[in-house]
């Protein structure tokens, strides 16, 4: 009679736990769920960076255009420290290196501001986003080319090809945007009007 009780306790103990196949299935399902959450979080984070970069670009352009509307000049300064002292730069883009101020975009690369008045024959300036990855570059150019149109936008370039050129009276956006890794896309804005 004692033997019978031992067997039934063992059979109950075996049925209470997972076997190896069941554990592998559960771990596989958990892995799929975690992978899906990871991908969704990465996509949401990239979308947030795209939005912040577009806002920073518009704030930078509005700051420069606002200052020069109050202080007319046909050329703008390219010195970031001087632009910072004028109060035209978005604070979240400015990095103080100790010896100078530099601009950084959401993906860690530098941002340059250049006077392009002599290049285009219009009082204008270029904002270049250096060292962008190809996928971030494409998404950013598409988003910003649409958003920045009312801000004096003249030209959008991927660094290798023109995306939009309003100077040449072409309002069509090149939908086959080509960007390479370490791209340096740029935007040209009119200083006035």
What is the spatial distance between Cα 175 and Cα 83, in angstroms, rounded to a whole number?
34
Read off the pLDDT of residues 82-141 as tens digits, 9 standing for 90 and up: 888 888 899 899 999 888 899 999 999 999 999 998 888 888 999 999 999 988 898 888
Q: Who has greater pLDDT, 69 or 132?
A: 132
CATH of domain 27-190: 3.30.1690.10
Residue 28's pLDDT band (boundaries 50, 70, 90)?
Answer: very high
> Which residues are CB-contacts of 48 (< 8 A; sequence separation ≥ 6)?
none
Q: Who has greater pLDDT, 1 or 155?
A: 155
pLDDT at 180 over 60: yes
Query: What per-residue confidence (pLDDT) applies to 60?
Result: 92
Mean pLDDT, the chain, whole residue set: 83
Q: Which two tokens stand for residue 72?
A: 């007319």
Reduced to 3 states (helix: H, G, I; strand: E, B; else coil), residue 113 is strand
Query: Percentage helix, strand, coil, to 5, in the chain?
Result: 50, 20, 30
Q: What is the value of pTM for the model shown?
A: 0.77
Q: Who has greater pLDDT, 19 or 130?
A: 130
Residue 41's pLDDT band (boundaries 50, 70, 90)?
Answer: confident
> Between the CA of residue 172 and those of 35, 154, 164, what are the distances in Å?
39, 12, 7
């Amino acid at each position: 009679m004692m033997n019978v009780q031992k067997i039934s306790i063992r059979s109950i103990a075996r049925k209470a736990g997972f076997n190896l196949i069941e554990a592998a299935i559960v771990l596989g399902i958990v892995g799929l769920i975690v992978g899906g959450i990871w991908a969704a979080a990465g996509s949401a984070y990239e979308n947030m960076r795209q939005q912040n970069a577009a806002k920073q670009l518009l704030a930078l352009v509005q700051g420069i255009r606002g200052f020069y509307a109050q202080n007319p000049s046909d050329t703008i300064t390219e010195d970031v420290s001087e632009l910072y002292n004028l109060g035209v730069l978005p604070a979240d883009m400015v990095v103080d290196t100790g010896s100078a101020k530099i601009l950084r975009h959401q993906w860690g690369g530098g941002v340059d501001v250049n006077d392009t008045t002599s290049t285009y024959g219009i009082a204008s300036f270029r904002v270049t986003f250096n060292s962008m990855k190809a996928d971030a570059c494409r998404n950013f150019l598409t988003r910003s080319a649409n958003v920045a149109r009312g801000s004096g936008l003249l030209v959008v370039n991927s660094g290798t090809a023109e995306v939009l050129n309003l100077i040449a009276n072409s309002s069509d956006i090149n939908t086959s945007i080509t960007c390479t890794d370490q791209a340096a896309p740029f935007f040209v804005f009119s200083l006035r009007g």
